[in-house]
Amino acid sequence: MYNNNMNQSTSQPGGMVPEARAALDNMKYEIASELGINLKQGYNGDLPSRQAGSIGGYMVKRLVEQAERQMAGK
């Protein structure tokens, strides 16, 4: 079974490093802007799931591309 207590040394929920959270938030707003989606700070519960999914999908795509570049030594 997966143990979610691996990174409990940080104060962020889920053990996320604060700098990583900030970088992901910046990426989220950048991608939303590129897609023409009005994403505001705070609550975005009125955002259609299709738009939220598009933002998340592009974030994953970009993160995979970054990991592939790192693995290739670039």
Q: Measuring CA to CA, how many Å separate 6 from each of 2, 17, 34, 36, 45?
A: 10, 12, 35, 37, 30
**What's the average model confidence in pLDDT over 41-50?**
94
pLDDT tens digit sequence for 18-40: 999 999 999 999 999 999 999 99
Number of Cβ within a 10 Å radius of residue 1: 3
Asked if pLDDT for residue 11 goes beyond 70, the answer is no
Asked if pLDDT for residue 2 goes beyond 50, the answer is no
Q: Measuring CA to CA, how many Å separate 39 from each of 26, 53, 59, 71?
A: 12, 13, 14, 32
Is 55 within 8 Å of 32 (Cβ atoms)?
Answer: yes
Asked if pLDDT for residue 3 goes beyond 50, the answer is no
pTM for the structure as a whole: 0.73
3-state class percentages of the chain: helix first, strand second, coil last, to nearest 5: 60, 0, 40
